[in-house]
Structure 1
Amino acid sequence: MAPQIDPSTLKITDMRFADIDGAPKRCTLIKLYTNQGLVGYGEVRDASSRSYAAMLKSRILGENPCNVEKIFRRIKQFGGHSRQAGGVCGIEVALWDLAGKAWGVPIWQLLGGKFRDRIRIYCDTDSAGGGRDMGKALKERMDQGYTFLKMDLGIELLMNVKGALSAPLGFLEKMREYKKTVFSTPHGSIDPRAMRGEAYDLFNTAHAFTGIHLTDVGLDYLEQYMADCRAVTGYEIPIAIDHLGHIPLEDCIKLAKRLERFNLAWMEDPVPWQWTDQYVRLAQSTTTPIGTGEDIYLKESFMPLFKSGALAVVHPDVLTAGGIMETKKIGDLAEDHGVQMSIHMAESPIACMAAVHVAAATRNFMSLEVHSVDVPWWDQLVKGLPQPLIQNGYIDVPNAPGLGITELNEELIAEKLHRDFPIAWQPTDEWDKEWANDRQWS
């Protein structure tokens, strides 16, 4: 017989990690241990660092994990935009998992209840070749039951198309060099020096400063690519586009106008999210819906975009936005400003189920990304959920306590460990006693 859990005396006693690879990227899984045997599961955002979470261990040891908001307010100052939020958000997810398990209810119930019993999934789809090849790949998704789709459409498709791009001589060659070095090499084999230098600086230059422009040849190519896709999929199903590339606002406007006739669900992250005025100019220049949000941390950072009226869709990632409750609050703010919410997710089933609970509890939710449809073992990383997890393009909202995950598949995790971290759940005692005066006022 399982021991009786007393939520009022529950305490966090330890935090440990396991890094897996290929789900679809490197993912850091978190376990929070307690004095009553309960274990909570969380996750640092894809391609981030476990150090962002480990540095917070001493700040949460001995705390009652059911006090989610109290702990979140203590640690949220250590988060940041994009992957820098990974530690705060991963811990917040594990806290909710523990609170749900301690009180015997699913997380969506702790968020105020649910608006839906199943969550619509869209799958980001990669395809080599031309537009008809992408169209066929998308049509296969439709045949699998998916009712919402996303694809890449941008300068990556134009790198080898003669006359499609204008850029300072040598710039595109340096970008190709960096991408080949960093993105086509196992992470553990990368020389850290490859993450510095001219190629790195060029690849990480913001959109307005790259000097890359689409020519008429490039615009014609992308327009025809999209037409070829729609010729296969038809026009009824929603298709969003992503990864335009680091091109300036004026080129985004040209492309958005060319794509208006294709009935897109949204154009994602056309320029850095911080540039609200550019989003306004773009939205006022086209009828193609505009979306962003996966790199934004905390609800107050979303407010300028909401107030501007530039967004049709907001697209937060639970593991960047601030965790489960913060993403729910962002969805509610979006609804107040007439903005639809979808959720970005390119991580393991732990992050996926965190997003499922948010989606269930948020009224203006539309669709949840899953980036691992072609990873056959992805949903086997956890136990206690239906297999397959995605059925006919949806995930059922679980009624089990917490995230709904009963345990992790330790054998599979051991098989998929990242080469840099070959042992799972190693002790992290070196982080137990770190101390600093974290107060941000005098």
Structure 2
Amino acid sequence: MNDEREILNNVRTASSPSDLKITDIRFADIWGAPMQCILVKVYTNQGLVGYGEVRDFADKRYAALLKSRLIGENPCNVDRIFRKIKQFGGQSRQGGGVSGIEVALWDLAGKAYGVPVYQLLGGKFRDKVRLYCDTDVSGKPDGKKMGEALKARRDKGFTILKMDLGIDLLYDIPGTLNGPLGFLEELVAAGEKHEHMAGDMDTRLKAHAAKEVTCVEHCRTGIQITQKGMEWLENYVSEARSVVGYDIPLAVDHIGHVGLTECIKLGRMLEKYNIAWMEDALPWHYTDQYAILRRAVNVPIATGEDIYLKENFKPLLEAGGVSLIHPDVLTSGGILENKKIGDLAQEYGVGMVVHMAETPVACMAAVHSVAATENVLALEFHSNDIPWWEDLVKCPFKPIVDNGFIKVPDYPGLGIEELDDDVIKEHIDNDKIPGIWESTKEWDTTFAHDRLWS
């Protein structure tokens, strides 16, 4: 009798998956987790709520425009809905709306059926997910200081590390960069230096005002690294390595907007420092240049966080342009599409590391996708220095990050019971929205002719 009662206690009698319908979608914009992040709530007719997230530094309208196409849909039909809405996504942050909604649909499907998302994807290949930890330091660039920061990450249990290494480190050092007169000064004045981590509103506004300057593609900037600059960067890496050691993988990111020849020079310099991978050195769509770069240097080459959908990874893989692919679940198309991308790369003998610089919602979406994908080395963690990061969610498996790994949860959906509105309110991005979970009724009935053929 006790066994029967225990079984009945685990049955979700409140959920009838076949009759589940989406009734509303709402958002909360926050800042500093570690970037500007947009949380998503998808409501249903049975009281179940699914959590998703729009890609960092995107806009909730990428997801809001999907609302009229989702109201009344059964969220458990994830693949069918994804095929219906994927035409409204695009590369980089434009993929954030479709991908974020896809995450919420999987969360709802898992909750409706009472199983973790990874189980709906075919099961898991691992019980815990290895993290690689991104590392930032404030103040004047200093290799030994970076090494100490990396060592602190290592001491916390992280087994793969990453640091920035690019031309922004050289902006204040005369004679290290060569470029069109006045252009570098514009970049600095615009707040391009460390713009990706800018937290104060003045810096963000400067960067926004200078978007025409900072959106020049690598091949058209005319920026070169001088011999002095290359020696400075090499010393920076050497000092960092001397502190953190050579026995732990160390990747580099944020190279800066320089062309192919500069990337080759930098890559060859890095060879002696056993770099795990050189990330996003060029725009992802320069397939031929990536193929040249990979063959010119003995450092693994990675890109992919700005690529939307599996088919857009294929040219790079076919050309032999990457050693590793590096998708972000909130751009690639979501949880299932990210798994498909990893499976595709495996066919070419190319491994996968997964980008993640968002809240615990996106993190757990990535964890389930990574758990269900064989071809994965590690998942990024970018919030080591944010004490309230885990407080954003209520879940039964805290700490989420433990000694450099995340245990794959066996709870329904993403494993997140609910979001903590009090913590969210403390970190609202007032530049975006005055409150949280406000009405999105204006998006209920928007219409367009969605068919892509005549």
Judge same fold: TM > 0.5, yes or no: yes
TM-aligned CA distance change 1:190 to 1:121, over 3 Å: closer
Query: In structure 2, the residue corresponding to 1:83 is in which secondary structure?
Result: helix
Correspondent of 1:345 among 356, 372, 378: 356
Match of 1:162 in 2: 174
Amino acid at match of 1:140: A
1:5-63 superposed Cα distances (whole Å, 9 cap, x missing partner): 11001000000111111101111100000011100000000111001111110000000
Q: What is the number of residues matched between the two proteins? A: 439
1:201-256 superposed Cα distances (whole Å, 9 cap, x missing partner): 22110001001001111111111111111111111100000001001000100110
Alignment pair present for 1:242 and 2:253? yes
Match of 2:3 in 1: none
Match of 2:162 in 1: 150
For 1:187-266, list aligned pairs within 5 A: 187=201, 195-196=208-209, 199-266=210-277
Match of 2:444 in 1: 432
2:27/2:41 contact within 8 Å kept: yes
Alignment pair present for 1:14 and 2:24? yes
For the residues of structure 1 that align with 2:233 and 2:115, how far apart are their CA atoms? 48
Query: How far does residue 195 in structure 1 lie from its aligned partner after superposition?
Result: 3.3
For the residues of structure 1 that align with 2:376 and 2:192, how far apart are their CA atoms? 37
2:168/2:194 contact within 8 Å kept: no
For the residues of structure 1 that align with 2:326 and 2:142, how far apart are their CA atoms? 27
Correspondent of 1:386 among 387, 397, 405: 397
Match of 1:68 in 2: 78
Query: In structure 1, the residue corresponding to 2:119 is in which secondary structure?
Result: helix
TM-score (norm: length of structure 1): 0.96
Question: Tell me, which stretches of 5 or more residues in structure 1 are unaligned?
Answer: none
Alignment pair present for 1:422 and 2:434? yes
Alignment pair present for 1:91 and 2:104? no
TM-aligned CA distance change 1:368 to 1:200, over 3 Å: same
TM-aligned CA distance change 1:344 to 1:102, over 3 Å: same
TM-aligned CA distance change 1:385 to 1:290, over 3 Å: farther
Match of 2:45 in 1: 35
TM-aligned CA distance change 1:8 to 1:347, over 3 Å: same
2:168/2:193 contact within 8 Å kept: no
Amino acid at match of 1:56: L
For the residues of structure 2 that align with 1:67 and 1:22, how far apart are their CA atoms? 33
Query: In structure 1, the residue corresponding to 2:437 is in which secondary structure?
Result: coil
For the residues of structure 1 that align with 2:193 and 2:274, how far apart are their CA atoms? 37
Match of 1:179 in 2: 191
For the residues of structure 2 that align with 1:261 and 1:385, how far apart are their CA atoms? 44
TM-score (norm: length of structure 2): 0.94
Correspondent of 1:324 among 335, 345, 349: 335
Question: Tell me, which stretches of 5 or more residues in structure 2 are unaligned?
Answer: 1-8
For the residues of structure 1 that align with 2:373 and 2:361, how far apart are their CA atoms? 19
For the residues of structure 2 that align with 1:342 and 1:181, how far apart are their CA atoms? 26
Query: How far does residue 185 in structure 1 lie from its aligned partner after superposition?
Result: 6.3
Query: In structure 1, the residue corresponding to 2:130 is in which secondary structure?
Result: strand
Match of 2:4 in 1: none
1:79-120 superposed Cα distances (whole Å, 9 cap, x missing partner): 000001111011000000000000111000011110100011
TM-aligned CA distance change 1:211 to 1:17, over 3 Å: same
Match of 1:134 in 2: 146
RMSD: 1.6
Query: In structure 1, the residue corresponding to 2:33 is in which secondary structure?
Result: coil
Alignment pair present for 1:291 and 2:321? no
Query: How far does residue 384 in structure 1 lie from its aligned partner after superposition?
Result: 1.2
1:182/1:194 contact within 8 Å kept: no
For the residues of structure 2 that align with 1:317 and 1:181, how far apart are their CA atoms? 23
Amino acid at match of 1:393: G
Q: Percent identity?
A: 57
Query: How far does residue 135 in structure 1 lie from its aligned partner after superposition?
Result: 0.7
Amino acid at match of 1:135: G
